[in-house]
Amino acid sequence: MLEDLKQKVYEANMLLPKYGLVTFTWGNVSAIDTESGLFVIKPSGVDYEKMTPADMVVMDLQGNKVEGDLRPSSDTPTHLELYKAFPEIGGIVHTHSSYATSWAQAGRSIPCYGTTHADYIYGEVPCLRCLTKEEIDEAYEENTGHLIVNEFQRMNKEVMAVPAVLCKNHGPFAWGKDAMDAVHNAVVLEEVAKMAYRTETINPKVAPAPQELQDKHYYRKHGANAYYGQN
């Protein structure tokens, strides 16, 4: 079942250690098949060196395991809530990459200080509140998904324009049109988190980049009038 998608999700997961986004098993990638309404995700706690495409787990949007010998990632309920709420999302990545996680642990959103950030993410990367004790105790991973969905809707943010979020005291989630795009955005997130940290270290009084510069760089790569790259 969904053998092509299993292969793609496996390959996307294997890029996490390649790009230095995970230590040990601290990360996962999933992708959804919109026709069937099923998604494929990494199994929980399996070493990347030992993982194979056959180990990927197929889930439905009710949280049922449809196929797979192993337990799915413990973050599966978070992925599920994002897929249910935002049909434009085709792939999701969760890591504990060190710079992005440092911002999350500090409880700070990542300001847009320059054009590298603006090329990929429109405005700041938001850091959300920590879950309450009740939210943690009753359904931690599911409530993480609910929090992301509710806050993006409350802030009126477009998920494809802001393809990443920080969960306070936890870490980053990123997403994209498919698994590889989600990994790409996770790599970008870690780099802009690193740059923002260094920027504030060099100049603690730094201000975000001018809005007109942010707009120029974002919209030259995205939207109807984009002109970056080849047709």
Please calculate the CA angle 46-178-97 and round it to the nearest 5 degrees. 50
Query: Could you tell me which of 186, 179, 167 has the C-alpha nearest to residue 5?
Result: 179
Task: Count the helix, strand and coil residues of the chain and give each as a percent rounded to the nearest 5.
Answer: 45, 15, 40
Q: List the structure tokens of 76.
A: 């599966």
The set of residues, in sequence order, having a beta carbon less than 8 Å from that of 25 and lying 6+ positions away, is 45, 46, 47, 48
Q: List the structure tokens of 86.
A: 């935002």
Distance of CA 38 to the CA centre of its chain: 19
Report the alpha-carbon distance of residue 210 to residue 113 in Å, rounded: 9
Active-site residue flag, 113: no
Active-site residue flag, 4: no
| Identified catalytic residue from 119, 140, 197, 215 | 119
- Phi first, then psi: what are they for 19, rounded to 5°? -95, 10
| Identified catalytic residue from 4, 60, 137, 228 | 228
Q: Parallel, antiparallel, or unpaired: how do β-strands 164-167 and 127-128 relate? A: parallel
Q: Give me the active site residues, please.
A: 119, 228
